[in-house]
Amino acid sequence: MGRPREFDVDDALETAMELFWRKGYEGTSLTDLTEGMGITKPSLYGVFGNKEGLFLKALERYERTKMNFFHEALKEPKARDVAEKILRGFADSQTAETGPSGCLGINGALACSEAAAEIQKCLIENRHRGERELSKRFERAAEESDLPAGHEPYDLARYIMTISQGTAIQAASGADRPALYRVIDMALQFWPETVAQN
């Protein structure tokens, strides 16, 4: 009951996500948000709590709609395919023609004032979580003799995430998808397509 909402919450959240993605948490003002979302401040606060709550919901949406390739990639039977799908998935997302370049999880609050410290901490933890999940997957691969010799699972995981974070900066600096793909090709060169399957 009560007056019906005049805007679509999902559409509004999509817009907020893109704004935070492009301009970062602190670089996006409430005026940017309300004008972009086509709603007033009281509406924004009524639905999303405050700016911080809105960002967290936007991040959640980002993970759900743009980072879904990550968990899909973990299901690949071979570790090398996991790595490659993750790398190309990130590069694709970072260079999509619609939407901002780079990565919300990095652009959001890499370096910021104390006012955004909580968001920054949250994004760092977010990155660590992804790295941990990949590390777990590579631990399984190690048990299956599915890793290249001489490498620890967590080192490989950090390596893959480092490349992906690097391409995020490259994309934010104007690099296009083919360029990132060539970087990925080189990054995977040391990893034989088929590992000693004895």
Partner DNA sequence: CGAATTATGTACCGATCGGTATAAAAAAAT
Partner DNA sequence: ATTTTTTTATACCGATCGGTACATAATTCG
Distances (CA, A) of 51 to 31, 60, 108, 176: 11, 14, 13, 32
Query: What's the closest the beta carbon of residue 92 comes to DNA, in angstroms?
Result: 30
Tokens of residue 84, six digits: 């490659």
Q: Which residues of 112-138 are buried (b: 16+ CB within 10 A; e: fewer)?
A: beeebeebbebbeebeeebbeebbebb
Answer yes or no whether residue 145 interacts with a copy of itself by CB under 8 A.
no
List 174, 194, 197, 198, residue binding a copy of itself (CB under 8 A):
174
Cβ distance to DNA smaller for residue 43 or 165:
43
Which residue ranges make up the site for DNA (CB under 7 A)? 1-7, 26, 28-32, 39-43, 45-47, 50-52, 113
Q: What are the backbone angles phi and psi of residue 169, rounded to the nearest 5°?
A: -70, -40
Query: What's the closest the beta carbon of residue 8 comes to a copy of itself, in angstroms?
Result: 26
Answer yes or no whether residue 177 interacts with a copy of itself by CB under 8 A.
no
**From the list a copy of itself, DNA, none, partner contacted by residue 145 (C-beta under 5 to 8 A by kind):** none
DSSP string spanning 95-156? Answer: T-SSS-SS-HHHHTSSS--GGGHHHHHHHHHHHHHHHHHHHHHHHHHHHTT-S-TT--HHHH
List 28, 93, 94, 135, residue binding a copy of itself (CB under 8 A):
28
Q: Which residues bind a copy of itself (CB under 8 A)?
A: 21-24, 26-29, 32, 102, 106-108, 110-113, 116, 124, 127-128, 151, 155-156, 158-159, 161-170, 172-175, 179-180, 182-183, 186-187, 189-190
